[in-house]
């Protein structure tokens, strides 16, 4: 299109095309591409479909939208019949791509087609459409449709989602021209979240774009599988007399879950406390999620209950399970905190070295400690 008449709303760059012919109405001159948008009709600067013989033929070299400038202050919103050339003649009816233009405001731009594939087209009056039997357009803008189409690749096979299941659409062609057509025909505008879970584990997300120097960022929100983290080593409690408590620093958001089990025989037997008693647990993810100890239950286990399950074991270990059901869930473990009493022996403190004492009065004994440690005072 020559000149400066373009839509006053955001459009892509102008597509490449050729005006092949035009006839009837305003004659052989097709004034749709001269860069003007006059407020007139029935002149060489517009195109007026006022008979069934009036036509415009153009060839598109890429996918495109067509926009019209409504140049006459009258109700001339008649639909055009869009016929595509099949190599023999204009035998393919593409009128389905004509949008419902309704009652357009005079002297405004409007897109009147859906995406048209590349090829040769003939535009004539659609006599099957009720309404006025004429149409007057002041200008056309043919907008290049930037292709951004995505396919899921599994090996050599390409898949798209039809709203119910993934459909194998064949193998992606090797030539650039055929490959672009393949993506335009079968590609998806987006990958729907509900379709992801139906895919196999290993896929390639492939997108064709017409953009130059395209830069894409892939944002993935996913629900991880339930996880069971098993330790490879024990915690030594050889010098521990009593376990006072065991606590987790953790986070559970929404339906996120953290569960814990413990073992005192190097992972041969695993246990969880259910708030009443200790039970044996099979170290399988689903069972730990179901029967393992919550952080609250773990923190409430008493020293006597730890002693009961520990026996005379000199080691202990913990395993952790994490579960989430939705992308809004969160389950995290930051730290395991314990307080334990260590074993030791009592030795007689040396007066003057480890401690001193005095009687400030007849009723009080003042002891001064000079060294760190635990002390028993007998008097």
Query: DSSP string spanning 346-366?
Result: --PPPBTTTEEEEEEETTEEE
Of 327, 324, 318, 378, residue with least CA distance to 349: 378
What does the block give as tokens for 354?
A: 């480890």
Please give the pLDDT value at position 130: 59
Alpha carbon distance 31, 40 (integer Å): 12
Q: Is 92 exposed, middle or buried (0-12, 13-18, 19+ CB in 10 A)?
A: middle
In whole angstroms, how far apart are CA 159 and each of 140, 166, 167, 214?
A: 37, 6, 5, 23
Please state whether 363 falls in left (phi above 0), alpha (psi between -120 and 50) or beta. Answer: alpha
Single pTM value for the model: 0.48
What does the block give as tokens for 93?
A: 């009816």
Alpha carbon distance 325, 161 (integer Å): 24
SS3 at position 102: coil
Alpha carbon distance 105, 23 (integer Å): 27
pLDDT in tens, 114-170: 889 889 999 998 877 655 567 888 899 999 887 788 999 998 899 999 888 999 999
Domains identified in the chain and CATH numbers: 17-144 (2.60.120.260), 148-209 (no CATH), 227-342 (no CATH)
Residue the block writes with tokens 């992308």: 327
- Residue ranges of the chain with per-residue pLDDT less than 50: none
Q: Using CA of residue 103, residue 107, residue 108, residue 109, what is the dihedral sign?
A: positive
């Amino acid at each position: 299109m020559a000149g400066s008449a373009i839509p006053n709303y955001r459009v892509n760059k102008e597509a490449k095309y050729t005006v092949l012919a035009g006839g009837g109405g305003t004659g052989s001159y097709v004034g749709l591409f001269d860069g003007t948008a006059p407020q007139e009709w029935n002149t060489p600067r517009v195109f007026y479909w006022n008979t069934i013989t009036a036509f415009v033929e153009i060839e598109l070299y890429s996918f495109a939208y067509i926009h019209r400038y409504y140049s006459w202050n009258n109700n001339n919103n008649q639909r055009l019949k869009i016929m595509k050339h099949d190599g023999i003649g204009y035998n393919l009816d593409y009128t389905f791509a004509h949008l419902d233009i309704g009652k357009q405001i005079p002297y405004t731009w409007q897109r009147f087609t859906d995406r048209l594939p590349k090829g040769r087209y003939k535009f004539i009056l659609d006599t099957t459409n009720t309404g006025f039997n004429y149409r007057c357009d002041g200008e056309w803008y043919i907008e290049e449709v930037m292709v951004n189409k995505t396919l899921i690749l599994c090996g050599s096979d390409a898949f798209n989602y039809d709203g119910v299941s993934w459909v194998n659409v064949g193998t992606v062609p090797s030539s650039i021209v055929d490959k672009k057509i393949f993506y335009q025909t079968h590609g998806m505008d987006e990958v729907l979240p509900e379709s992801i879970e139906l895919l196999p584990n290993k896929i390639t997300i492939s997108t064709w774009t017409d953009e130059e120097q395209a830069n894409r960022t892939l944002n993935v929100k996913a629900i991880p599988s339930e996880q069971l983290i098993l330790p490879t080593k024990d915690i030594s409690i050889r010098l521990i007399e009593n376990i006072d408590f065991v606590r987790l620093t953790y986070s559970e958001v929404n339906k996120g879950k953290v569960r814990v089990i413990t073992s005192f025989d190097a992972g041969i037997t695993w246990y969880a406390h259910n708030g009443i008693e200790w039970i044996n647990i099979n170290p399988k993810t689903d069972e730990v999620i179901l029967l393992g100890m919550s952080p609250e239950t773990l923190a409430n286990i008493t020293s006597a209950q730890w002693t009961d399950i520990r026996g005379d074991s000199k080691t202990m270990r913990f395993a952790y399970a994490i579960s989430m059901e939705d992308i809004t869930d969160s389950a995290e473990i930051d730290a395991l905190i314990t307080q334990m009493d260590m074993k030791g022996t009592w030795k007689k403190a040396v007066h003057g070295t480890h401690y001193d004492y005095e009687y400030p009065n007849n009723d009080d004994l003042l002891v001064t400690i000079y060294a760190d440690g635990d002390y028993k005072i007998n008097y």
